[in-house]
Amino acid sequence: MNRSQPNWDDLRVFLALVETGSLSAAARQLGLSQPTVGRRVQALEAALDKRLFDRLPKGYLPTAAGEALLPMAASMGAAAEAIDRSRAVGDALAGTVRISAGSSMCRFICNRLASLLDGLPGLDLEIAASFQFTNLSRREADIAIRNRMPEQGDLVTQRVAQPAVAVYGSRRYVARHQVDLQPDRYGDWDWVGYDAAHEHLATARWLAEKLKGGRQRFRVATPPEKLYAIKGGGGLGLLSCYAADCEPELVRIGDPIPELRGETWMVVHQDLRQMPRIRTMVDRLTAMFRELAPLFDGQRPIA
């Protein structure tokens, strides 16, 4: 046997491959190339003199040896991440803050970058749109903004908004079709809704119930796509007031819908919340949400 000490980077690759089940997905998660992931798995197997994965048509599955290694590698990973977080706490008010949010919220934040970074010349922002819960323990982001509160125990959360939702249409569409949105006439208009993959969303279920099996002429996958389709005259649709009331081409039809009011949570890992750059950006974002509370509440007029 020719065993050597396992490399921690190889163990990180092992954990990612167990989680994702494919070389390509693990490569995307780690920011590596697929061949590099394959080589590191082979190097780890050589170091341990054990086959850790069965290569099956449906993906990579851990062998008995891989299953035995998993809890030890996971413990090492958690320890390494904790060391990384504790080392970062002493950082100065400089560097990059990474924010993860849904696509509409990312667009909203990007429109307010000047105020968020005012007077902070050493600070950079990295903003990534994601509909999945970001793993803050693994430093996939520093701050996450999500529409529901995570259940992970080592996170600090605060509810920063309760976004209102209403029906909108383009001014041109509403004028041309003389829209009069009565409960018994929802089926008279064209609607922009979500595709089949997103039919579980509250807004999609609400609209399906109102249309009673009627037609949604346009279907999209994300809130920004829906907003653009409605602006383009595709029909009526449900939008968050904080996104739609800033669009002069759109007109709100009726009041916000109480049962569709959502929640917005800001989340940070408890080990990082006192890092100067993280704490400063959390404070700036909190102030932004507080100042713009009327916009999120759907109050009009909007300045």
- 3-class secondary structure per residue, 10-38: HHHHHHHHHHHCCHHHHHHHHCCCHHHHH
Instruction: Identify the domain boundary among 58, 88, 118.
Output: 88
- Judgement on whether residues 233 and 284 belong to the same structural domain of the protein: no
- Judgement on whether residues 64 and 181 belong to the same structural domain of the protein: no
- Judgement on whether residues 158 and 131 belong to the same structural domain of the protein: yes
Inside any domain, residue 302: no
Instruction: Return per-residue pLDDT of the chain as tens, 303 residues.
Output: 455 566 777 888 899 899 899 998 888 888 888 899 999 999 999 989 989 999 888 889 999 998 999 888 888 777 666 656 555 545 567 889 999 999 999 999 999 999 999 999 999 999 988 776 666 666 778 999 999 887 766 788 999 999 999 999 999 999 998 877 776 777 888 899 999 888 899 999 999 988 876 678 899 999 999 999 999 999 999 999 999 999 999 999 989 999 999 999 999 988 888 889 999 999 999 999 999 999 999 996 443
The verdict on pTM exceeding 0.85 is no
Domain span at 32: 8-88
The confidence score (pLDDT) of residue 154 equals 77
Inside any domain, residue 108: yes
Inside any domain, residue 182: yes
- Judgement on whether residues 74 and 103 belong to the same structural domain of the protein: no
What's the domain count of the chain?
3
- Judgement on whether residues 158 and 198 belong to the same structural domain of the protein: no
CATH number of the CATH domain containing 270 = 3.40.190.10
The confidence score (pLDDT) of residue 137 equals 61
CATH number of the CATH domain containing 75 = 1.10.10.10
Residue of 261, 278, 277 lying closest to 269 (CA atoms): 278
Inside any domain, residue 27: yes
- Judgement on whether residues 276 and 129 belong to the same structural domain of the protein: yes
What is the spatial distance between Cα 146 and Cα 140, in angstroms, rounded to a whole number?
Answer: 14
- Judgement on whether residues 114 and 146 belong to the same structural domain of the protein: yes
Inside any domain, residue 52: yes
The confidence score (pLDDT) of residue 149 equals 84
The confidence score (pLDDT) of residue 249 equals 95
Inside any domain, residue 201: yes
- Judgement on whether residues 171 and 203 belong to the same structural domain of the protein: yes
CA-CA distances (angstroms) from residue 224 to 64, 118, 214, 257?
Answer: 45, 27, 23, 20
Inside any domain, residue 3: no
- Judgement on whether residues 79 and 52 belong to the same structural domain of the protein: yes
